[in-house]
Structure 1
Amino acid sequence: MDFSLELPTGPLAEAILSAVRTSETPSLANHSVRSFFFAQLLAAHEGCLEDAAYDRDLLFAATVLHDLGVGELAKGKARFEVEGADLAADLLRRHKVPEADVGRVWEAIVLHTSAGSAERRDLLTYLTREGVGIDFGHNAEIVSPWEKQIHAAYPRLAMVRSLVDAIVERAARSDAAAPLNSLGAELLRERRTEGVTRLERAAASCPWGE
């Protein structure tokens, strides 16, 4: 397939990129943009680009905004997936995105860490989770022809460690930010008891490192 590093344009796309680049570390901002490219490549691989449910602009919003909950805009008053989804929804509403589409993006962000749930929802939620997962090395073979080009433009910058640091820091702010069995709570527990988390250990086997 033809592949381009071109991103969506227009006021909404610019606001999405600005929100991420001004509130997240460069490492996390790059991770979010890579997740968009990987999700697009997965959609092409699975023949979804012509599907009526496929919406490139909403996929851009969901993937690029999926970690707002670990950026500077988040207060640590709820689990990071929920707080990030709320922040993303507020941004979309300010740009007059239809409420049904706001809800789709909200759900995709909330469920992006929920294995076994995201895959059973709509195409946007599925592609968002899988695009993020590919950036951790899952199904890497699907994007291997293009990953060097993507990583050259958006380098990793120790993404896994940077992300875990941000999740753990916010999870430690309140009980509401780290409810039992949530990803934030588990990573916080692992950091405190073992000094290293499962995500950091798994990065050792990721085909493109952390």
Structure 2
Amino acid sequence: MCPPSAFGSSDNAATPIPSETLTSAVPSTTISKAAFELAASLLSPAILNHSLRVFLYAKILAEKTSSAYFLEPAQLDLLFTACILHDIGTTNQYDGEQRFEVEGADAAVGLLEQYDIKGKDAHDVWVAIAIHTSPQIAERISELAKIVRLAVLFDFNREEGFAEAVKNVDLKSLRAERENEMPRLGIEKVLGDAVVAQALKRPRKAPPASWPNNLYRAHLAEPEWKGVNKGF
């Protein structure tokens, strides 16, 4: 099975053909291009932009810590795949029985296996995606999971961990530049609504003591609320 070959083809929110600004952020390797093509074909513009910003923040983290995930092209592929697909489980294509993080992790491994990436490398990507919403666990279970987690938090204006690792970087200017290139487009509402929509169909996708459950319970408490989910 090959990755989808056309952008904007198969989810509930049509994704326009990515601009040169978006595609220029993608590492020029077969695996990274395939991961981006899959993401761009399914994710809404808001979540695609978020995922690319997360990668660019993660790349800076990896660079500043002299990580192999920046220094080695094969490892950079793993970092990109983990970042660009970390929310792919919110899409219709990967709306399975498990919570969205696990479905996304499975999808990423499925793509990597097409390119003979297996074993520890595939497992590390799986873990980074599966627990990216798990505070204090993602930061300690593996280097890749920590980088992805801190980059995700930074994109949601939480600088703990990130700021310490990238000293001497103007974080305000960094965030403004990335968001100018890849606008937020209401990511908090779009992502929260996507997770809740899945949970409403399959409550088991929002198990107790999970981030999806926080969103699900907040929605059930105030189903008429139209703003950003209060459990976000």
Bigger CA drift: 114-123 or 135-144? 135-144
Aligned to 1:155: 183
Structure 2 residue 182 is matched with structure 1 residue 164: no
Task: Deviation per CA, 1:174-210: give whole Å up to 9, x if none.
Answer: 13212122211220110121334232xxxxxxxxxxx
Aligned to 2:217: 189
Task: Note the residue ranges of structure 2 that are not aligned, 5 or more in a row.
Answer: 1-23, 164-168
Aligned to 2:56: 37
Q: CA deviation at 1:53?
A: 9.3
Structure 2 residue 41 is matched with structure 1 residue 22: yes
1:1-210 equivalence runs, <5 A: 6-45=25-64, 47-49=65-67, 55-139=75-159, 143-194=171-222, 195=225, 196-199=229-232
The separation in 2 between residues aligned to 1:42 and 1:185, in whole angstroms, is 29
Report if aligned partners of 2:25, 2:52 keep a CA contact under 8 Å in 1: no
Q: CA deviation at 1:52?
A: 9.4
Q: 1:81 to 1:53 in 2, by over 3 A?
A: farther
What is the TM-score when the length of structure 2 is the normalising length? 0.77
Report if aligned partners of 1:76, 1:174 keep a CA contact under 8 Å in 2: no
Task: Note the residue ranges of structure 1 that are not aligned, 5 or more in a row.
Answer: 200-210
Q: 1:150 to 1:117 in 2, by over 3 A?
A: same
- Aligned pair count reads 194
The separation in 2 between residues aligned to 1:19 and 1:171, in whole angstroms, is 23
Greater RCO, 1 or 2 (C-alpha within 8 Å, sep 6+): 1
Q: CA deviation at 1:50?
A: 5.7
What is the TM-score when the length of structure 1 is the normalising length? 0.84
Task: Deviation per CA, 1:65-102: give whole Å up to 9, x if none.
Answer: 10011012222411111111011110111121132211
Bigger CA drift: 85-94 or 70-79? 70-79
Report if aligned partners of 1:53, 1:123 keep a CA contact under 8 Å in 2: no
Report if aligned partners of 1:28, 1:163 keep a CA contact under 8 Å in 2: yes
Q: 1:23 to 1:63 in 2, by over 3 A?
A: same
Report if aligned partners of 2:39, 2:84 keep a CA contact under 8 Å in 1: yes
The separation in 1 between residues aligned to 2:69 and 2:86, in whole angstroms, is 23
> Secondary structure of the residue that 1:152 maps to in structure 2?
helix
Q: CA deviation at 1:44?
A: 3.3
> Secondary structure of the residue that 2:220 maps to in structure 1?
helix
Q: What RMSD over aligned residues (CA atoms) do the two structures have, in Å? A: 2.1
Q: 1:173 to 1:185 in 2, by over 3 A?
A: same
Aligned to 1:206: none
Identity of aligned residues (%): 32
The separation in 2 between residues aligned to 1:6 and 1:64, in whole angstroms, is 11
Q: CA deviation at 1:122?
A: 1.4
> Secondary structure of the residue that 2:178 maps to in structure 1?
helix
Aligned to 1:205: none
One-letter amino acid of the structure 2 residue matched with residue 193 of structure 1:
A
Aligned to 2:6: none
